[in-house]
Amino acid sequence: MRSLLCVLLLLAVVGCTTRSSGPATPEQAALAAAANTDIASYHLRNGALESALAKIRQALQQNPESVDAHLVAAELWSRLDDPDRAEGHYRQALSVDERTGAALNNYAAFLCRQDRVSAALEHWDEAASDPLYNRRAMALSNAARCITDRNPPSADVTAEQYWRRALSLVPDYPLALGGMVEWSLAEGRVDAADEWYSRYTAAAEESAWGLWLGIRVARAGDHAERQGRLIERLRERFPASEQAARLTE
């Protein structure tokens, strides 16, 4: 809430400056667009889609070259079930800067949701190839998750390859470590899953998903005592979680 108040204050300052000195300068317009983009993002996170749409349209009028504004607009139109408009904004963001890691990563996620897996992987690979992009491990993990979830029949690469590439960049990256646990379980490599899970728990904060993953590993390895401890922990720490609900199935 404090950050939103700061953004509103910035908009007020820019508005006052504009009214007192005539049309906004490019710098003032860019500041106002950034502020309106932040407000649109805030509304989007809170499900106020109509308010988000009004603000992001204003932001794009103020600065049509704002990559951040186009990315928020793309996510908004995706939420409004208009994939054509969403993709248009992703493409516009990349036309402004074709190597923007965030745009490549977000566009790839959109393509994956549209079952365009090959195109999605190309964009994640491009994001991961940029040494200045500080979320390369996340992009590679997203690619692995896309392959796992969509299971494309013609994929030339495996989820394991992407998980391992992510770990070559960040050896203690929780998403990739958890992914290797899941991959090992799917391949029937229970001992490997156990080893990967030990690394995962050392790197990740405790979560319902992580405890459920441990339960699956313990069950696969026939470790009844450990499984019982993890079940008790899941019920105690995350009683309202989806994973806790699965215990009664």
Tell me what percent of the residues of the chain surpass a pLDDT of 90. 83
pLDDT confidence of residue 31? 94
Sequence-ordered list of residues with C-beta below 8 angstroms from that of 155, at least 6 positions apart, any chain? 117, 118, 121, 147
DSSP secondary structure string for all residues of 105-174: HHHHHHHHHTT-HHHHHHHHHHHHT-TT-TTHHHHHHHHHHHHHHH--TT-SS-HHHHHHHHHHH-TT-H
- Residue 50 CA, chain-centre distance (Å), reads 23
**Residue 170 and residue 173: Cα distance in Å, rounded?**
5
**Which parts of the chain register pLDDT below 50?**
2, 4-22
Helix/strand/coil percentages in the chain, nearest 5: 75, 0, 25
The half-sphere exposure of 56 on its side-chain side, counting CA atoms within 13 A, is 24
Residues 187-226 have pLDDT tens digits of 999 999 999 999 999 999 999 999 999 999 999 999 999 9
**Residue 5 and residue 27: Cα distance in Å, rounded?**
21
DSSP H or E segment with residue 86:
helix 83-96
Q: How many helices (H) and strands (E) does the chain have?
A: 14, 0
pLDDT confidence of residue 94? 95
pTM of the model: 0.83
pLDDT confidence of residue 90? 97
pLDDT confidence of residue 153? 67
Under DSSP, the state recorded for 25 is P
